[in-house]
Amino acid sequence: MKTKSIYKIPQGKLLKISLNYNEKTNKIIDLIITGDFFAYPEEGIEIIEKKLKNIVMENDILYKKIESIIKKNMIQFIGLDSEGITNGIMMCKK
């Protein structure tokens, strides 16, 4: 199912998620993360998009997965955080 969300990160920037997920398995097929935030290095967002494929759309699972990708790839956000991306993705289900 293709869906979108727009989420204003508290004290941060505007996050827009375009998501394609499998309703039966509750897993992400693919997603695009856009918005006016900053990420260092910028390629970090593409890494997150790639690594979230096939991940189950549950709050805790998503949050932990995003945190581990950020830590492993030393990604730094300004105006965005793991919680924000998790919330943006979960909003796509509502």
Residues that bind another protein (CB under 8 A): 6, 12-14, 16, 32-42, 45, 76, 78-79
Output the smallest distance, CB 86 to another protein, in A: 17
Place of tokens 């965005």: 80
Output the smallest distance, CB 63 to another protein, in A: 20
Measured from the CB atom, is 1 or 78 closer to another protein?
A: 78
Say how far apart CA 43 and CA 92 lie, in whole Å. 23
Measured from the CB atom, is 18 or 63 closer to another protein?
A: 18
What is the DSSP annotation of 9-28?
A: PTTS-EEEEEEEEETTTTEE
Q: What is the CA radius of gyration of the chain?
A: 12
